[in-house]
Every structure is written in structure tokens, then in C-alpha cells.
Chains A and B, each alone.
Chain A
């Protein structure tokens, strides 16, 4: 079943696809030396910006730069409309699902999702029961991971609804590209993304507790040791809001306050980048020093908004993912604009049997895993690796799902050998507040190793700037 790989720039007949015509010409006229020189300049710029990524379990210096590819990825306005409409639709349905889950549970009563799948999920948060968040928005900032396999086939790989990272790369990649290739930006009409911090701030202010005039928004970080700390500091700075740690906040008189040099200042919205477990030691992990004691009580009293809401993790778990198209139909009465990857649930007997017979063709993932760890990519694995994984699956089948290996689309990428096609995915960012919007762009991740389908930065992936052509 050898399928032809879809290259986003070049058609099978060798001509450039419409969205890439300009880039294709530009690549023809640019020498490799010049591109490499620009690539080196880009690295210098990123180092100067200090944008690094902490790789867990890496023995060497744990902070490193994510490789950046100077050849942009391009979408036409039409292609983008479909992706953005589909992402918005999905996030709307997921927000409605979360509201329902923590209120009347119609979705379970209607038998759309088995109760056990939800209640057994550690991310399901009983402390969210019966409490209505402003605007019914739970996931204010969502990242929807999308892959493409052909001209018209896009699949959602996963939804990131807790605190998706990577948006700083989207912004910095763009800044660097504008400095390196100003001519391309004057020759092409590329939708800007640099207003993201403004839209984010507007989104956050828009969900402040009722009655808050000129609400105060803060960004709550676990601190400098977190892998995404750079992004936290960057976003707070861009939005012009305070970057705080748990110890900078306290609860009094059923409100949250920030300690400032001028005395306590009331906080209305907390853009938190710490996990539920750590957010309030009086409600969750008692040994957490990262959170704010008493926060849950102020939150449930509707006197502070937390973005993203507590308990959103239940909706982006891999065990819930297979049901998302059904959720779109159930809550919106619409057909999903973006498809799911067909998924085998290994807790189901038939799916397990099929998967065990086709391990060499499938991708098998841990239900609660992330970052590309603990997964098997059948076609890229040796017989011995597959056997080891078979035992892991058999030991605990319900811990795994399997999906067909998708022939991810490729984009031209500058590598050692020259310009070559490499597999990519895309994470657009969806912001939900008074309205739901998608930034025209996102984070394109690229697997730099030839033939590799693993784009995670923790596994040797890089990034590209993502350009949406304006009509």
C-alpha cells in the first residue's frame, strides 16, 4: 500500500503548487550558500533572544535551541479557511463538552461517551462540578495539532487544551524571518501574527469575573526551571502584564491579590501555566509550593477567572480524542470540518487483536503520554523493538491506542544535503473569550531526519515559520 507522499510545494509533475509559486522561484534564485548563511544568522538571532527549550532526560546541557528552518511553510487563503473553521468548530464543541461534563452530563446520559472513560480519567476534576465559568469557556487557549496527507485531507492528531506551549516560537520565528528576508514580506501578502499578544490579552480580559472594570491579568508560571519559562516571560512581557509565581499571590476576603511594591493589588484573571495538581495546595497536592492556597475557593465563588480552567485536561486526553467528532455532532449539530485519525482503542478486544496483528504498520501511543515519548512507530521499528512493545501492550492494553501510520505531507527544508522534503505538522492556536478566533499561522514542526515522522522538539524536530497568504 505504498502511497505517494504529498509535498506541499511541488506537484507530482514537478510544477509548484499555487500557494508556493513565489517561494519556489525564490528558492531557485537563492544559492545554498546564501540560505545557509541566513540560517546561521537566524541561529545567532535566536541565541540573542535567549529562546531555548529544556529537554528532559538529556544528559548534555539541558537547555538548547530548537533548530529553525528558514524555508517557510505556506498555506493559501482557502486552505487556511478550512483549517481555521475546523479548529474553531472543534474548540467550541470541546468547551461545550467541558461545561456539560461538569454540569448535567447530558453527553453521558445520551450514551455518546461511556461514563467510565470520563470518570476513570485522572484529569476529570470533581472540584469543577456545578460551577459555571465566565462565558462557558474552559479552554481559552487551545493548540490543535493537525497533519496533512494530501491536497484535501487534513487530520487532527490531538487537541491541546491545558496549557499548550510553542506560541512564542510562532512569534519569534516570524520576527526572525522578517529580519532575514524583508523582500519576501514586501513581495507576498502574508497575514500578520504579531498581534497575538494583544488578542490574547483581550481574550483574557474578556473573561474576567462579571463587573470587573479594567481587569488585572497576570501570568502564573511555575518558575525559571520550567521548560517553557522563556515563553511565560516572553508572553507576559509582550502583553505588558505581571509574570508571577505562586508566592507572589495570596487570597484574602474571597479575592486574589498580588503583592506589589505599592501594596496588594486585586487580580481578576490568572493566565496560568501550571498544572491543576499544583495550583492550590489546600485543594490538591498539599506539597505544592507553586500554587496559591485558597485559590479554588475564590475561583468557585466566581471572583477570579483561571485560564485555562481547572479540569480541562479531561477533554484532551487520548482516551477522549476518538469521541471528538461525535461531540461536534452532539453539541453543534454540525458535521466535523476536520477529521480525526482513525483510532483503535486497545481496551476493546477487537481493536487489540487487529493492532497486535498489524504492529508493523501502526503507530501505538500511550493514552496519557505526550512529547512523542513511549510510542511505537511500526514501519520505522525493528522486529525486536516491535516485540518489546507487544509485551508492553499486553501487560496493560487499556493504556494504549493505535493509529495507522499517516504519510505526513512534506515541505522543502534546508538540510545538510541541500533542500529536501521533510515531514511536517501544524499547531494553530485558537483563542476563546467573548469570541473564538484562530491566529493566521501557528507552529509548524518539522522532522529533520530523512523519513522520520516524529516532529517533537524533544525528539530532534525543528520549526518553520507558517505563512498564510491573504487573498
Chain B
């Protein structure tokens, strides 16, 4: 399937900012399920490309002019192949790195209690356990826009029973790791089929490592595994290490308004 992505982020500030730096993880990599036909990242300021420790294709965007607005855009075309959400490992990092807890995926007693029913299955049939876990979590956590923020943790989402795709991925990752299954965060895009309404955010899901099979994607927010409608942008231990945009600025006071528009269409 050939998918066209137009992703634009605009930051507006009431007071002018003097300097801002951002890490952009806005460039998809080629892998067996996706091939980049054309891709272009632009931003206000100067872009320097680099590759992070996870192998993600990143840019550093520095804007040192006095501005009230900064915009970043990523546009391109990706050819995807239906692999039922299964990808081989890229061989960059040891897979067991993806067992380590992070601040956003900290294990607490609630998570520990929640995974108890899956401990047995996780040992005998990890893939089944992952499916059961995914099912249980989609029942437990209701997709609710605006119910969380970028620093919300897995534990917050499980307690509140509400969250967005990022939170659902975090809870799934925390639970999988607690069950001894390496799990990683994937940020990306989803072709929903609705070509008329722009999406207000990029997408995110989780992938769990199943020995002998590969990284199996679970998109809890859409109650599905990975499909040819998914395009991966970056992988990491959690949102913090794979966020499409992460920045700091000087000036601009407290108020920042971020407008995101993601158009995902079929070519």
C-alpha cells in the first residue's frame, strides 16, 4: 500500500522566543514492512541530521532568531507491505535492553497485580500472553483524548483507566516487561481510511519481542496488531526516547500553543 503523509506542527508563542532546540524523530527507516519512496523534513531554523543509539534517523533543529512561531513539517510517501505486524530485529541493540524500566514505564504494585493472570501463559506461550494482555488493557483503559500529558506514566493511565495511544502503549510495555517480555515503544502514523479529516496527532503503539517470531506490534488504541496501514517513525524504550518532536526554548514565557495536523492518505 502506498501512503502519503503530511505532518505539520506549529508552535505559537505569545512572547517572542530567542532560541530553541529540538530533536526531531520524523524520518521513517526502511524495513521489511515499509520502504520510503520520498521523504522530506523541514523546519524553521537549521537542521542537522544524526542517528541515535536506537538507530532512529533524527534531526536537530536549532532556531536562534527571535520568532513568535516555529513550524516543523515532515512530508513523504511510504510503500508498506502487510506483515501482520511482525518485524525482524534490526540488530542494533541487544533485545534485552527493552526489558529495562524507565520513568514513564515504571512498574508499581498496580501493574504487578494486573499482570498476575498472565504470568503462566507468558512462560508457556508469550504470544498468547501478549494478545491476552492487549485485550485486557483495551477493556481496562478507555481511549480519551486530552486525558493525559507528555509526562504521564503507565501507572497513571492504569489508575485512571483513561489515556491516549501513548499511554496505552506505555501500560502495555510496562506490563510486558514485568512479564519478562522485551517491549518497545513505536511512534508513527496510521492510515485510518478517513481522508477528509486531518488527525490531531501522530500515532504510537508498542511491540513485544517473541522469540522465533520477531517484534510483534500491538496498537491498543485501535484494538489491532500492526498492519500495512501503520508506518513506523522511531523506536525507543518509551515516548521520551522516541518522541517525534522534543524541544526546549528560551523565552516565550509559559504559554505555548501547539497545533498539529497529520494528513495520511493513500497515493
Contact check, B53 vs A129: say whether CB atoms are below 8 A apart. Answer: yes
A130 CA to B93 CA, complexed, in Å: 9
A293 CA to B249 CA, complexed, in Å: 9
Interface of chain A residues 236 through 268 with chain B (CB within 8 A): 250-254
> Given A119-B97, A126-B93, A252-B64, is A301 in contact with B48 using a C-beta cutoff of 8 Å?
yes
Q: Which residue of A lies closest to B45 (CB)?
A: A252
Contact check, B60 vs A294: say whether CB atoms are below 8 A apart. Answer: yes
Interface of chain B residues 51 through 79 with chain A (CB within 8 A): 51-55, 58, 60, 62, 64
Contact check, B248 vs A297: say whether CB atoms are below 8 A apart. Answer: no
The distance from the CB of A103 to the nearest CB of chain B, in whole angstroms, is 11
> Given A120-B100, A252-B62, A281-B248, is A294 in contact with B23 using a C-beta cutoff of 8 Å?
yes
A297 CA to B247 CA, complexed, in Å: 13
The distance from the CB of B25 to the nearest CB of chain A, in whole angstroms, is 11
Contact check, A127 vs B97: say whether CB atoms are below 8 A apart. Answer: no
Contact check, B52 vs A300: say whether CB atoms are below 8 A apart. Answer: yes
The distance from the CB of B183 to the nearest CB of chain A, in whole angstroms, is 14
> Given A126-B54, A128-B53, A297-B58, is A108 in contact with B94 using a C-beta cutoff of 8 Å?
yes
The distance from the CB of B164 to the nearest CB of chain A, in whole angstroms, is 19
Contact check, A115 vs B94: say whether CB atoms are below 8 A apart. Answer: yes
Q: Would you call B10 an interface residue if the criterion is a C-beta within 8 Å of the partner chain's C-beta atoms? A: no
Contact check, B237 vs A126: say whether CB atoms are below 8 A apart. Answer: yes
Q: Which residue of B lies closest to A311 (CB)?
A: B53
Q: What is the size, in residues, of chain A's interface with B at 8 Å between Cβ atoms?
A: 31
Q: Which residue of B lies closest to A255 (CB)?
A: B48
A382-396 vs B, Cβ < 8 Å mask (1 yes, 0 no): 000000000000000
Q: Which residue of B lies closest to A116 (CB)?
A: B96
> Given A253-B46, A254-B60, is A119 in contact with B248 using a C-beta cutoff of 8 Å?
no
A281-301 vs B, Cβ < 8 Å mask (1 yes, 0 no): 111001000000110111011
Contacts of A298 in B (CB 8 A): 60
Q: Would you call B44 an interface residue if the criterion is a C-beta within 8 Å of the partner chain's C-beta atoms? A: no
Interface of chain B residues 202 through 243 with chain A (CB within 8 A): 237, 240-241
The distance from the CB of A362 to the nearest CB of chain B, in whole angstroms, is 30
The distance from the CB of B90 to the nearest CB of chain A, in whole angstroms, is 11
Contacts of B143 in A (CB 8 A): none
Q: Would you call B118 an interface residue if the criterion is a C-beta within 8 Å of the partner chain's C-beta atoms? A: no
> Given A115-B94, A120-B100, is A300 in contact with B51 using a C-beta cutoff of 8 Å?
yes
Contacts of A131 in B (CB 8 A): 53
Contact check, B21 vs A294: say whether CB atoms are below 8 A apart. Answer: yes
Q: Would you call B159 an interface residue if the criterion is a C-beta within 8 Å of the partner chain's C-beta atoms? A: no
B93-112 vs A, Cβ < 8 Å mask (1 yes, 0 no): 11011011000000000000
The distance from the CB of A257 to the nearest CB of chain B, in whole angstroms, is 10
A129 CA to B53 CA, complexed, in Å: 5
Q: What is the size, in residues, of chain B's interface with A at 8 Å between Cβ atoms?
A: 30
Q: Would you call B267 an interface residue if the criterion is a C-beta within 8 Å of the partner chain's C-beta atoms? A: no
A105 CA to B93 CA, complexed, in Å: 10
Interface of chain A residues 120 through 144 with chain B (CB within 8 A): 120, 122, 124-131
Q: Among the listed B48, B60, B64, B93, which residue makes an inter-chain contact with A129, where contact means beta carbons less than 8 Å apart?
A: B93
The distance from the CB of A139 to the nearest CB of chain B, in whole angstroms, is 19
Contacts of B257 in A (CB 8 A): none
Q: Would you call B246 an interface residue if the criterion is a C-beta within 8 Å of the partner chain's C-beta atoms? A: yes
Q: Among the listed A108, A119, A130, A293, which residue makes an inter-chain contact with B100, where contact means beta carbons less than 8 Å apart?
A: A119
Contacts of A253 in B (CB 8 A): 46, 48, 62
Q: Which residue of B lies closest to A102 (CB)?
A: B53
Contact check, A119 vs B23: say whether CB atoms are below 8 A apart. Answer: no
A95-129 vs B, Cβ < 8 Å mask (1 yes, 0 no): 00000000001001000000110011010111111
Contacts of A300 in B (CB 8 A): 50-53
Contact check, A127 vs B96: say whether CB atoms are below 8 A apart. Answer: no
B17-52 vs A, Cβ < 8 Å mask (1 yes, 0 no): 001011100000000000000000000001010111
Q: Among the listed A126, A251, A281, A294, which residue makes an inter-chain contact with B97, where contact means beta carbons less than 8 Å apart?
A: A126
Contact check, A254 vs B240: say whether CB atoms are below 8 A apart. Answer: no
Q: Which residue of A lies closest to B103 (CB)?
A: A285
Contact check, B100 vs A251: say whether CB atoms are below 8 A apart. Answer: no
A119 CA to B97 CA, complexed, in Å: 6
Contacts of A250 in B (CB 8 A): 19, 21
Q: Would you call B196 an interface residue if the criterion is a C-beta within 8 Å of the partner chain's C-beta atoms? A: no
Contact check, A293 vs B51: say whether CB atoms are below 8 A apart. Answer: no
> Given A116-B96, A126-B93, A251-B62, is A297 in contact with B23 using a C-beta cutoff of 8 Å?
yes
Q: Which residue of B lies closest to A131 (CB)?
A: B53
Contact check, B240 vs A115: say whether CB atoms are below 8 A apart. Answer: no
> Given A282-B22, A294-B62, A301-B48, is A119 in contact with B53 using a C-beta cutoff of 8 Å?
no
Contacts of B60 in A (CB 8 A): 251, 254, 294, 297-298
Contact check, A282 vs B97: say whether CB atoms are below 8 A apart. Answer: no
Interface centre among A122, A125, A130 (most CB of B within 10 A): A130
Q: Which residue of B lies closest to A125 (CB)?
A: B53
Interface centre among B19, B60, B62, B92 (most CB of A within 10 A): B60
A300 CA to B246 CA, complexed, in Å: 17
Contact check, B248 vs A127: say whether CB atoms are below 8 A apart. Answer: no
Contact check, B240 vs A129: say whether CB atoms are below 8 A apart. Answer: no
A128 CA to B55 CA, complexed, in Å: 11
Contacts of A108 in B (CB 8 A): 94
Contacts of B22 in A (CB 8 A): 282
Q: Which residue of B lies closest to A285 (CB)?
A: B103
A298 CA to B97 CA, complexed, in Å: 24
Q: Which residue of A lies closest to B46 (CB)?
A: A253
A254 CA to B246 CA, complexed, in Å: 17
The distance from the CB of A115 to the nearest CB of chain B, in whole angstroms, is 6
Contact check, A251 vs B240: say whether CB atoms are below 8 A apart. Answer: no
A114 CA to B51 CA, complexed, in Å: 28
Contact check, B19 vs A130: say whether CB atoms are below 8 A apart. Answer: no
Contacts of A120 in B (CB 8 A): 99-100
12 CB contacts below 8 A, A to B, read A115-B94, A116-B96, A120-B100, A129-B53, A129-B93, A251-B62, A253-B48, A253-B62, A282-B22, A283-B23, A286-B151, A294-B60
* Interfacial residues, chain B to chain A (CB-CB below 8 A): 19, 21-23, 46, 48, 50-55, 58, 60, 62, 64, 92-94, 96-97, 99-100, 151, 237, 240-241, 246-248
Q: What 10 additional pairs, Cβ within 8 angstroms, besides A127-B52, A252-B46, A253-B62?
A: A122-B100, A129-B54, A130-B53, A130-B92, A252-B62, A254-B48, A281-B248, A283-B241, A297-B50, A300-B52
* In the A-B complex, the 9 residue pairs with the closest CB atoms: A254-B48, A127-B53, A129-B53, A297-B60, A293-B21, A294-B21, A293-B248, A126-B53, A297-B50
